[in-house]
Structures are given as C-alpha cells and as structure tokens.
Amino acid sequence: MEIKLLEHNKKQNKASFVVKGTTAAYMNTLRKYVLERVPTLAIEDVEFRENSSILYDEVIAHRLGLIPLRTDLKSYSLRETCKCKGEGCARCTVQLTLEGKGPGTVYASDLKSKDSHVKPIHPGTPVVKLLKGQEIELEAKAVLGQGKDHSKWSPGLAYYRHKPIIEVKSQPADPKKLADMYPEKVLEVKNGKITVNEENALKCATYDVFEGIPHLTIKQAEDEFIFTIESWGQLDCDEIMTAAVDIFQQDLEQFAQGLKKA
C-alpha cells in the first residue's frame, strides 16, 4: 500500500491523501473508525442551579452538548475504561460552569472550564439570549465519547472516492476555450494542445463534470482512492487518523486473541 499526502490545510482543518493498492472495503472501514470510534470531549451532564431564560433546561443542555470542545486524547480516557470505573474523575471528566445575567447573550466563550486546554473551538456560538431580569447558572460535565453513541462526539467528516483517470482522446478545435470552461484548472493548454493537470485533477471534487466532453475519457482507478478528512476542530486531522488506526489495530488484536481462545 502506498500513501501520498495530497493536501493538509490546517486553517480549514482538512486533509486528503491518495492511497494506492487497497480496496473500497478498507477505505470504508477507516471512514467508519473515524466517524464512530475516535473519541472526543463533549458535554454530557448538566446540573441547573438557575434558569429563568425562555429556553427549557433540556434545550440548553442539548445546545451545550453540541459545542465542540478542544480535546487532548493523551490526558483523558473513556469513562468505561477509566480507573474510576465510570464514577467520574479528573482523568475522564471535565467540569465546566456557565453563568449569565440578562440583558444579553450567553456565548460558548462564557463557559469556564477546570482544564484550561478544554475550551470551545467556536467561542462565538450563542447558547441563550437573556432579557432583563433573566438569569442562568449551571454546572456541566464533559466526558470522552464516541460517534457511535452520539454524533456530538464525532471528530469530523471522512469520505473517499476512486482516483479519477482523465485522458485526452482527441484535440478540440479551440483548446483554450475548453480549458477556460473549467475553473479548477484540471485542463491546461500546452503547446496549443489540451492536457490534463494530474495534481489539480486529484484535488477537483467534481471531476464527473468532464464526463460529457467528447475529447476526454474518464475512468476510475480500481485500487486507488482519495481519502479526505475534515475535522470539526476537537482534534487535528493527523490526530484523528492516528487514533482511528490505533483503535482499529487494538480491535484486530482483541479479535486475534479471541480466535486463539475459541
């Protein structure tokens, strides 16, 4: 299997790479491990001390659960595998508090975390609007969880597609006109002839638009894939991929041990 990094945009939290010598089943397994098994921190329990806002406690608790929190996988473990046996301790649970008085809007940035590394990725997310005299005060617990239990714990989006093979079959009468029709610069004019820019073809998300052009043939590589990962921000793309592969490996080891015993 060969892996080549196509792009890693840290600003957009997005990475994609080309994998050669594998199957769609393998790519899909990796995709599922990213979505469902790589843990992140999210608020799970909320205890209200005061809530005179227009929103019910449940609605606010739900909104808090959906706020992505920066996650450090080295410092935290899943509750079910934690030494505290799920009771909740500093290794599996982060305490956060939220207080606000109207008039005004309470934002994600108003959440005060006991661990300064665990904080909302998008501080400007509104939680609730308060009118004059309205008040909110609560204590929340964030825990590590997995996307298989609730999508709030999913670290991002992962998807793959077959690598496109675009070939020039015949030259058009006006190569420049054809090249200019497609802004992704997949088609280029070199020495008066239309050519395919391989690099741009790999990055182009909508290469099927080239299917209707009579001068080109579009095929899909059978054993080559473009795997893309878009992080919601709790973890970096490389952290997500490393964790996904580690968990996959642990599962396989457990399976192998189980087989030996069976």
Q: Is 78 in the site for Zn ion (CB under 5 A)?
A: no
Contact 3, 26 (CB under 8 A): no
**Interaction between residue 142 and Zn ion (CB under 5 A):** no
Note whether 143 binds Zn ion by CB under 5 A.
Answer: no
Minimum CB–partner distance for residue 84 and Zn ion (Å): 3
84 counts as binding Zn ion under rule CB under 5 A: yes
What distance, in Å, lies between the first and last C-alpha atoms of the chain? 31
C-alpha distances (whole Å) from 143 to each of 65, 126, 223 are 10, 21, 39
| Selected range binding Zn ion among 92-100, 115-123, 124-132, 173-181, rule: CB under 5 A | 92-100
For Zn ion, which is the closer residue by CB, 42 or 213? 42
Nearest to 226 by CA among 24, 12, 16, 1: 16
Residue placing its CB nearer to Zn ion in the complex, 89 or 252: 89
Task: Please tell me whether residue 92 binds Zn ion under the rule CB under 5 A.
Answer: yes
3-state helix, strand, coil in the chain (%, to 5): 30, 35, 35
Which residues face 96 on adjacent strands? 113, 140
**C-beta of 139 vs 184, nearer to Zn ion:** 139
Query: Which residue in this structure is represented by tokens 């002839």?
Result: 193
Q: Which of 15, 43, 82, 201 binds Zn ion (CB under 5 A)?
A: 82
Go through the chain and tell me how many residues it has.
262
Binding part of the chain for Zn ion, among 60-68, 77-85, 106-114, 181-189 by CB under 5 A, reads: 77-85
* Interface with Zn ion: number of residues (CB under 5 A): 5
Interacting stretch for Zn ion, rule CB under 5 A, among 7-15, 83-91, 206-214, 236-244? 83-91
Pick the piece of the chain touching Zn ion (CB under 5 A) from 59-67, 88-96, 146-154, 170-178.
88-96
Which residue's CB is nearer to Zn ion, number 128 or number 143? Answer: 143
Contact with Zn ion (CB under 5 A) among 78, 89, 205, 209: 89
Rank residues 21 and 86 by Cβ distance to Zn ion and give the closer one.
86
Q: Please check whether residue 238 is in contact with residue 176, taking contact to mean a CB–CB distance below 8 angstroms.
A: no
Task: Output the smallest distance, CB 108 to Zn ion, in A.
Answer: 25
Instruction: Report how far residue 68's alpha carbon sits from residue 230's, in angstroms, rounded to the nearest whole number.
Output: 14
Q: What are phi and psi of 116, to 5 degrees?
A: -65, -20
- Residue 257 CA to residue 260 CA, distance in Å, equals 5
Q: Any idea what DSSP says for residue 141? A: E
Residue ranges binding Zn ion (CB under 5 A):
82, 84, 89, 91-92
